[in-house]
Structure 1
Amino acid sequence: MTDITETELDIAVKVQEEPFKMDDGYESTLRKRTDIGAIVTFTGFVRDFNETPDVIGLTLEHYPGMTERTLTQIGEQACQRWALQAVRIIHRIGDLTPGDPIVRVLVASAHRRDAFQACDFIMDFLKTQAPFWKKEHSRQGAYWVKERHTDQQAAERW
């Protein structure tokens, strides 16, 4: 497990092997805060299909240190674009199975629109900039997941 990295902008990132709880991030975000009017979260899960229709597992590797810095920078970029009170990003690594939660992004703001847009932005940039490598396992064997053109297009809209 990588320690939580916090910044003066109230951004916290965590990269870990162990599962996270669906409410992770809420308590630390809301602690004694009365300026938060909206919290938007995104939780991504491992699917049982992707490049093949029979995914039975996923191995996620990352570049320790660089990954946390990149996630923090993505959170900082979101804070520069929208009026945010807090950003939390939790991403898992290691061996996962279909149905396992893989990523959680939580964005707090005074207003919902900022929170929704920032959460969407963070996911688009996490998919294209964060140094994670995915190896999917199927009944036919294992393969590294290729970058998707659609992910890049989604990030370019920002």
Structure 2
Amino acid sequence: MLTRQRKELLLKILREDGQIVAKTLSEKLGLSEDTIRRDLRELAKEGLLERVHGGALPASPAMGNFAQRQQISADCKPAIGRAAAAMVRPGQVVFIDGGTTAVQVARHLPHDLRAVVVTHSPSIAVELAEHPTVEVIMLGGRLFKHSIVGVDEALLASYRNMEIAITLAT
């Protein structure tokens, strides 16, 4: 069996069974475990499955990088963004998380909205840069490149301080 054929078969088995156990599959197909493991490693590198000890599981869409995740349910995200943005009222302080759907929320905020947006996402901040009446407060932290957001204890402390300040102001 050619490499391409083996890989297609592995993906078919994974779709049907929901998992691959390398030892069991090697016995069933009459292939060495090393061959199965090598194919699984290569398929995992391509993002087609998740390699686990002893075999493989279906790839989680969340495992992809930011650009790849933008393509997941790409037709639904703008609708979600519009619906969420419609809930934001003038004068509100809104916390917008990072992520590909959250970018759609920021993208669909009215251009003339007067509000404060707090975020730890450079993507959200950039999306709102052209909104003249939206004040953007960007909280920092170490950049988590997978999701394009700030992370670490300093970021969490910033959020806590922001929550306290907003509570005291209301």
Q: TM-score, normalised by structure 2?
A: 0.22
Q: TM-score, normalised by structure 1?
A: 0.24
**Greater RCO structure (CA 8 Å; 6+ sep):** 1
Higher strand fraction (1 or 2): 1
